[in-house]
Structure 1
Amino acid sequence: MRVEPLSGELDVSNGTWALSERSLLQPVWDYLQQNHEGTLRSPLFPVVLSVSTYLVLVLFYTVMDLLAPTWPSIRRYQIHQDRTVTWSNIGTTLALTTYNHLLYIFPAAVAQWLWRPPVPLPREAPTVSAFLLGVVGCTVVFDFQYYLWHLLHHRVGWLYRTFHALHHQYRQPFSLVTQYLSAWELFNVGFWATADPLLLQCHCLTAWAFMIFNVWVSTEDHCGYDFPWAMHRLIPFGLWGGALRHDAHHQQPGTNFAPFFAHWDWLGGTATMPPPTKTKTKRERDEKAA
């Protein structure tokens, strides 16, 4: 005779699964609170985390840019193999990024540090499911927000000329172009990245993970490389935009407005996916001619 499981047994099983989920992140969260609670509670921490992540990523990609002309193993992954990122390009983009951070980001962070009380930290870590769903949820919401903002700032001429045209000075983006932005655009991007985890009531650990993920994929979109580990290669069915699609946006500014996913551009009829430009470098052409 087949014996049906009792509801109590199901509850125990579900409780065990929930406990197992929570136990995966709880030791990490306990360690962070016990050893770095003062740092984590500071209103400056999210700013430092975001800026540090960005600097590490652009340093990596900038080194790749400087090595690419003489290292074929790197150059082969460039979307535009005839492109050379010069020290002048680096200086110009880095100067504006530094200016924006010193004039806008740093004073705003100091104001929060002076006037905002330390952030309370929950004692319990999020479950793995809540953590992952929170990061995905924030990414989806941010993607929709920026898609509308981006579309509007291309369709309305005054908005484009006043706020967004600066970002399009480079038709072949590289990593430092990520934050080659007007103060208005930088403010909007930073506001949504901060507000979306609050809107979705995410755990602060989830909010920080989303912040890192957001900076990572934004930098990857502008990096100018099509590496095998790129997000658009890891996510199937063409659901993710990635560096190739965003590079196409800089080539054809009326297309590919969504920052991360591809579905809004599909639905809006603004999607395009031209083949990557694989132009031989002058050195290769000279070698072939010889």
Structure 2
Amino acid sequence: MIRLTMQGIWETIRSTLGDDTLGHPLFFITAVMATVVTAGLAFSIADVALGRMTFTSAAKYLAITLPGYLAVFALIRWVPIGSGEVPERAPSVTTFLLGLAGCLVAGDFLSYWWHRLEHGSAAVFRNVHYVHHSVESPLTVWSGFFVHPIESGVVFSMFYVVPFVLDVHPMIFATYAAINTFVTMVTHCGYKLWGYPTWLFADTARHEPHHEMKNPPNFCVLLTLSDRLFGTYLPADAATSSSSNLATTS
């Protein structure tokens, strides 16, 4: 039954987006784009309503973000760059979950070590990462996008190089891209979200202090796994006590 449901979802995706889009090497950016627009709009509405951001600022961020993603979508949709073979069958539930977990762990590991390099190398921090850390607290959902072009390209590569090279099933790749995008936005959104699985994913309570401390912990922006494994994890309670710039939905 679950297998049939997975197949039904996959067939709906294929009929909606088309094989030309799904077979494009950069098709997963459509999932990134949809998540950025949806989550960005939702958090911006909350920010304006709570007085954390002006309507003008929210509109400016959307106006800056949307054209770029729409241009990429147009590129994927209408510019022939070469199309790969689109699988007829959906992945099994086991394959889907294992593939998704593998993508999350790989993205977390690679982006973590790039982030460590940005702070460990004075030259890289001074010439690249300083742009992101020039964002003042409190953070908003758009803070994560305020980065140097080099950092933007490298982080994007760290997140997606493994599923791209391994040619994972498009259904897995798109789901991972959406989750990755949403989590990295939540990590910078400035809210403690009720019910959010902070035992698994990075969040604002642990990452906002990263932007405020001289020797910051919590380098992960996706999972908390690499911080825990490599000794840079600071629990939420300890991290939150160092920051007073968090809003809450609870």
Common topology (TM > 0.5): yes
| Selected match of 1:219 from 182, 185, 188 | 185
For 1:248 and 1:59, locate their aligned partners in 2 and report how far apart those are by CA, in whole Å.
Answer: 25
Q: What is the percentage of aligned positions where both structures have the same residue?
A: 25
Say yes or no: does 1:247 pair with 2:215. Answer: no
Q: Which residue of 1 aligns with 2:118?
A: 153
Matches for 1:115-126 after TM superposition, within 5 Å: 116-126=81-91
Query: Cα distance, 1:158 vs. partner?
Result: 1.2
Post-superposition offset of 1:222: 0.7
Q: Shift in Å at residue 178 of structure 1?
A: 1.7
Question: What residue number does 1:140 align with?
Answer: 105
Q: Deviations over 1:35-67 (max 9, x none)?
A: 542443345643333122101111110110111
Corresponding residue of 2:174: 208
Q: Are 1:85 and 2:48 an aligned pair?
A: no
8 Å contact from structure 2 (residues 21, 76) kept in 1: no
Name the counterpart of 1:264.
Answer: 226
- Checking the alignment, whether the CA contact within 8 Å between 1:44 and 1:113 is kept in structure 2 is no
Of 193-202 and 147-156, the range deviating more from structure 2 = 193-202
What residue identity is the alignment partner of 1:262?
T
The Cα offsets for residues 185-212 of structure 1, whole Å up to 9 and x where unpaired, read as 1112222333221344421110001000
Give the whole-Å Cα distance in 2 for the aligned partners of 1:152 and 1:109: 35
**What do the CA deviations read for 1:61-84 (whole angstroms, capped 9, x no partner)?**
011011113xxxxxxxxxxxxxx3
TM-score of the pair, normalised by structure 2: 0.81
Structure with higher Rg: it is 1
- The answer to whether the aligner puts 1:175 opposite 2:157 as a matched pair is no
Counterpart CA distance in 1 for 2:62 and 2:13 is: 33
1:278 positional shift? 5.2
Give the structure with the higher percent helix. 1
The superposition leaves residues 196-243 of structure 1 with CA deviations (integer Å, 9 ceiling, x where unpaired) of: 2134442111000100011110111111001113231xxxxx443312
In structure 2, the CA distance between the partners of 1:35 and 1:256, relative to structure 1 (3 Å rule), is closer
Matched, 1:165 2:147: no
Q: Distance in 2 between matches of 1:22 and 1:93?
A: 41
TM-score by length of 1: 0.71
AA matched with 1:123: E
Q: Secondary structure at the match of 1:137?
A: helix
Matched residue SS, 2:194: coil
Conserved? CA contact 1:24–1:128, under 8 Å: no
Partner of 1:55: 37
Q: CA deviation at 1:87?
A: 5.1
- The answer on 1:29 being equivalent to 2:10 is yes
Letter aligned with residue 32 of structure 1? I
Tell me the amino acid that sits aligned with residue 49 of structure 1: A
Q: Secondary structure at the match of 2:192?
A: coil
Alpha-carbon distance between aligned partners in 1 of 2:73 and 2:123, rounded to the nearest angstrom: 27
The question of 1:275 aligning with 2:232 is answered no
TM-superposed CA distance for 1:268, in Å, is 3.2
Q: Does the Cα contact within 8 Å between 2:106 and 2:159 map onto a contact in 1?
A: no
Taking structure 1 as reference, are residues 95 and 165 closer, same or farther at Cα in structure 2, changes over 3 Å only? Answer: farther
Which runs of 5 or more residues in structure 1 are unaligned?
1-19, 70-83, 233-237, 282-290
Matched-pair contact (CA < 8 Å) for 2:200–2:225: yes
Cα-Cα RMSD: 3.1
Aligned length: 240
